[in-house]
């Protein structure tokens, strides 16, 4: 009897069950990390290119981090650079009036964002802290993983960017980032 033909499918089922348990029993931060495995497998690594040298120096200074994390999550570094250019202009210490922090302008769990309520609890309670988000390496990793998961969830970059950006701008934000992306590709 050939038992090896059942081994691979059993391993796949077991891995799926473990990932399912992680997703059901963990915080959104762990869920985001676990779901990035699925994102990495879905995106075509052949689509990944080098960061364009035409980006301004404020973006070029982050080239190594942008390229590393974009590649890790299966995204084009130029898309991440376009988002950073739009969000912070490459300023790792950027802080918006809405409370978003760092290069990719992510809402933290603390600061003024802790007072934003959603269904009787803080909207961003499972997000990283401001201190974590001011670290460029952490910010680019978290923001890139977040965007990759949105692309996986919504199926395209424009829809993902719509959900990444400010809620009061409609698709203008997404279209602006995509225009920057197109300009520097």
Question: Has 87 been annotated as catalytic?
Answer: yes
What is the distance between the alpha carbons of residues 138 and 93, in angstroms, rounded to a whole number?
A: 13
Burial of 121 (0-12, 13-18, 19+ CB in 10 A): exposed
Catalytic entry in 87, 132, 157, 159: 87
Of 44, 46, 85, 81, the residue nearest 65 (C-alpha): 81
Tokens of 77: 């570094």
What is the distance between the alpha carbons of residues 4 and 8, in angstroms, rounded to a whole number?
A: 7
Q: Which residues are catalytic?
A: 87
């Amino acid at each position: 009897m050939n038992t090896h033909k059942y081994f691979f499918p059993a391993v796949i089922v077991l891995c799926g069950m473990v990932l399912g348990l992680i997703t059901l029993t963990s915080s959104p931060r762990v869920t985001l990390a676990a779901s990035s495995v699925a994102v990495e497998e879905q995106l075509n690594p052949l689509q990944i290119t080098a960061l364009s040298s035409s980006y301004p120096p404020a973006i070029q200074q982050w080239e190594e981090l942008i390229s590393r994390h974009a590649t890790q999550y299966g995204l084009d570094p130029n898309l991440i650079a376009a988002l950073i250019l739009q969000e912070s202009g490459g300023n790792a210490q950027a802080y918006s009036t809405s409370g978003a922090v760092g290069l990719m302008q992510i809402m933290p769990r603390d600061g003024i964002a802790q007072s934003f309520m959603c269904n009787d609890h803080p909207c961003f309670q499972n997000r990283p802290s401001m201190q974590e988000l001011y670290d460029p390496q952490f910010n680019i990793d978290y923001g890139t993983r977040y965007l990759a998961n949105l692309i996986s969830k919504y199926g395209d970059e424009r829809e993902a960017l719509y959900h990444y950006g400010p809620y009061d701008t409609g698709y203008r934000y997404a279209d602006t980032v995509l225009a920057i992306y197109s300009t520097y590709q």
